[in-house]
Structure formats: C-alpha cells, structure tokens
Amino acid sequence: MSKNDNLWGTIRTKLIDRKQEWAKEGRLLTGQRGDPLRQRLPPGQHEVKNWPVLDLGIQPRLSPDAWALQIDGLVSAPQVWNWALFQAQPQQKFLSDIHCVTAWSRFDNRWEGVSARHLLGLVQPLPQARHVMLYSADGYTTNLRLDHFGAKDVLLAHSWEGEPLTHEHGGPVRLVVPKYYFWKSAKWLTRIEFRADDKPGYWENRGYHNEGDPWNEDRYDR
C-alpha cells in the first residue's frame, strides 16, 4: 500500500467518524416538521445550485460494458441485467429535487432511466416481501420499505441533465428516491434484494434513521 493510499484511508475514516458523531450529537436537527404541499425546502435544509459529491471515499469506475444488476430475493422472476438489457427496458424521464442529510437541497434535477415500478412488474415480488436491500459496487448498502421503493417517482437512473451519470455521482446506474434523504439513493447500483425482514444498511447501522423522511426530519435514529 502506498503512502497516498494510507493518507486517503485516514481521511476516509475521519469523514465517516465525523458523520457518526453528527448522529450522536443530533447535528442539524431543528425539531420542526415540514409540509411538502406548502413548502419546497424540508426543515433545516438550504438550496444549492451545484451538486456536492458525497461517498465513502471510494468511487468505482464501472464502464457500462462491465456493469450488471442482480435482482433477486423474494421474487417470482429473478433477473440479471447487463447494460444492453437495462437499455432495452422502457425509458422514462423524471424531474425531482434532491435532499441530502447534510442539509443541502438541489431543485429540478432531470433524470432518465428505468422506473422502479416497471422493475417490480417484471420480477413480481412474492407476498411476503416487505423490504428492499440495495447494494453498491463500493460495498455500500441501504434499505427501503417495498412501498417506498415502488413509489411512482423512483428511478434507476443512468442520466442526469441529459448526460450520462458521471462516476462520482454513481454512474453508470444509481437509484433515485426523491422523497427521502439522498443516502437512500444508492450509487453504483449492482444488486437489489427483496426481503421479508428489514435489514439496516451502512448508515442505518451507524446512527442514521431507518426511513430518512426529510419532511419529518428523520436524520438520525434518536
């Protein structure tokens, strides 16, 4: 391991430790609740015009030719999509906002990809399936309730603002779950597992809220 690798590993550990401390301290919490029908910014958020990059310190560089998505667990028809199969699915364009748990929000993001509802129609979750686990190429995981995953605005996105997703923002494919804090929108998506039980993911195991609703200010598990 090089000196640069050791240095980056130290920085990465400090960043993760700091975010865990935020959870313990309740940093950024306002104690308020918002109403998405009356206001656009959830409690404690501020609008940004750029798109900040947040990750675990690893940014996998997956070419479309090397990418594959495994869809399994409690489903009637498991799937494995390569890039060609993914592109062969019906493509949709969605417009949505981003709300990050670190208190920034970005409005009017234009996405293109495959809707989660289309995926659900293909794989047909079994009656006992109630939860979804998302796996990323960098080892990251996060969990969602099945009804949250199946919302009409959830997308497996390959493009943003008319251009392919860059690797730092989760390309070639990331999930977009607009109604929840953006840590639920897993980057570099490689597997979707349907489960009967709920299994906390990376940040959920480190003090963050299990659902992450920004309007309820579900930043941390308190």
Say whether pLDDT at 5 is over 60. no
Q: Which residues pair with 106 in a beta bridge?
A: 98
Per-chain mean pLDDT for the chain = 91
Residue 44 has what DSSP assignment? T
| Count of the separate structural domains present in the chain | 1
Distance of alpha carbon 154 from alpha carbon 116, whole angstroms: 6
| Residue 219 maps to a domain | no
Of the listed ranges 38-42, 57-61, 131-135, 182-186, the one predicted with least confidence: 57-61
| CATH classification at residue 98 | 3.90.420.10
The residue range of the domain holding 92 is 3-31+41-51+60-206
| Residue 215 maps to a domain | no
Q: What percent of the chain has pLDDT over 70?
A: 93
CB 56 within 8 A of CB 12: yes
| Residue 140 maps to a domain | yes
| Residue 220 maps to a domain | no
pLDDT at 126: 98
| Residue 216 maps to a domain | no
| Residue 153 maps to a domain | yes
CB 78 within 8 A of CB 123: yes
Model confidence at 1, pLDDT cuts 50, 70, 90, reads: very low
Residues 131, 97, 121, 64, CA torsion sign:
negative
Of the listed ranges 30-44, 124-138, 152-166, 174-188, the one predicted with least confidence: 30-44
CA angle 43, 25, 207 (to 5 degrees): 85
| Residue 114 maps to a domain | yes
| Residue 221 maps to a domain | no
